[in-house]
């Protein structure tokens, strides 16, 4: 397994989101290096911290629409490709989600996270100037590190990865806080337009075999392009829509978010009797249900 990125995606992000002085290639080099070091037999946390840390990106490098003078704990989850090998020709699932924010600026967050990078005396000042680079769902970490929500997330992604290469992206590329408010509900009209434009370009560049959305926000963003109103969650995945490019139809499959907050909506799908032949539990079974629907869509398009 390798972490990779299409050069066209790098250009897309530089043109529309952020362009560091040394270019985004330098950040992606670090993301890839972080993954390689995280998967060594013996991992030195201090070594990982030196590779990918919150002072690599400055706020002034953001595109003008994203300049937020009073924002704190800004972060970008950079999209990544997860491939079997550099020369892999396997089909690709594009996974669109909305991952969580980085830790806040409280004392507890300093003790649990920020003190790895900053001294207590200057961490608030540093966070006000810089943007933390990371990847969706922490998928650049060691997948064998099974702990907490990461264990459930990895069970889901690794099950998909058995059959497909993955391209994982967040619909909102920039996350921040202003006071106690999270950016998810604060993005202005121009910001959302840019995010939507980036997302549409990602689909065209990656040319996936299927598009999978996790949760309400990502589903709604993709369906908005099709001018389709989202439905309520019932006892099945939502797979009525396609992304059409000429004569090519790409199946769009929407499921509740894989986080614990959506357990109620997920459980209805997992208990659906039409999937009694699908093995596994929780996120493993959910991933296999997704694969079943993708393969049905592929068969329909033959």
Strands (E), the chain: 2-4, 57-58, 72-77, 80-83, 92-97, 130-134, 165-170, 174-178, 181-182, 210-214, 238-245, 248-255
pLDDT value of residue 211? 95
Torsion of CA 161, 258, 7, 227, to 10 degrees: 120
How many C-beta atoms surround the C-beta of residue 212 within 10 A? 29
Beta-carbon contacts of residue 178 (< 8 Å; ≥ 6 apart): 68, 70, 71, 72, 186
pLDDT value of residue 254? 94
- Please provide the distance, in angstroms rounded to a whole number, between the alpha carbons at the two ends of the chain: 29
Domain boundaries, the chain: 2-300
CATH number of 2-300: 3.40.470
pLDDT value of residue 110? 65
pLDDT value of residue 269? 94
pLDDT value of residue 113? 66
Per-residue model confidence as pLDDT tens for the chain (302 residues): 999 999 999 999 999 999 998 899 999 999 999 999 888 877 777 777 788 888 888 888 988 888 877 777 788 999 999 999 999 999 999 999 986 666 677 767 666 667 777 777 777 777 778 888 999 998 998 888 766 667 778 999 999 999 999 999 999 888 888 877 877 777 778 888 898 899 999 999 999 999 999 998 889 888 888 888 988 999 999 999 888 877 778 899 999 998 877 778 899 999 999 999 999 998 999 999 999 999 987 766 65
Which of 141, 132, 136, 87 shows the shortest CA–CA distance to 113? 132
- What whole-number distance in Å separates Cα of residue 117 and Cα of residue 27? 17
pLDDT value of residue 286? 95
């Amino acid at each position: 397994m390798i972490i990779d990125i299409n050069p066209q995606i790098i250009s897309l992000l530089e043109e529309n989101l952020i362009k560091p002085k040394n270019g985004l290639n330098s950040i992606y080099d670090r993301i890839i290096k972080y993954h390689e070091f995280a998967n060594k037999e013996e991992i030195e946390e201090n070594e990982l911290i030196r590779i990918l840390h919150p002072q690599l990106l400055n706020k002034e490098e953001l595109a003008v629409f994203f300049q937020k003078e009073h924002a704190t704990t800004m972060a970008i989850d950079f999209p990544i490709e997860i491939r079997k090998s550099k020369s892999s020709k396997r089909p690709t699932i594009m996974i669109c989600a909305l991952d969580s924010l980085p830790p806040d600026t409280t004392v507890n967050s300093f003790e649990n996270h920020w003190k790895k990078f900053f001294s207590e005396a200057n961490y608030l000042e540093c966070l006000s100037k810089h943007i933390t680079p990371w990847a969706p769902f922490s998928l650049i970490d060691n997948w064998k590190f099974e702990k907490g929500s990461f264990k459930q997330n990895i069970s889901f992604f690794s099950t998909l990865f058995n059959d497909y290469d993955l391209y994982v992206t967040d619909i909102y590329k920039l996350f921040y806080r202003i006071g106690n408010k999270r950016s998810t509900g604060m993005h202005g009209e121009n910001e959302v337009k840019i995010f939507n434009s980036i997302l549409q370009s990602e689909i065209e560049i990656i040319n996936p075999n299927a598009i999978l959305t996790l949760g309400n926000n990502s589903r709604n963003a993709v369906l908005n392009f099709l001018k389709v109103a989202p439905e309520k969650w019932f006892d099945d995945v939502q797979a009525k829509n396609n992304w059409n490019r000429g004569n090519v139809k790409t199946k769009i499959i929407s499921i509740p978010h894989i986080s614990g907050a959506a357990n109620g909506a997920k459980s209805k799908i997992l208990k659906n009797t039409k999937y009694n032949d699908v093995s596994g539990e929780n996120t493993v079974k959910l991933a296999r249900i997704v694969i079943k629907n993708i393969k049905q869509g592929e068969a329909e398009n033959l």
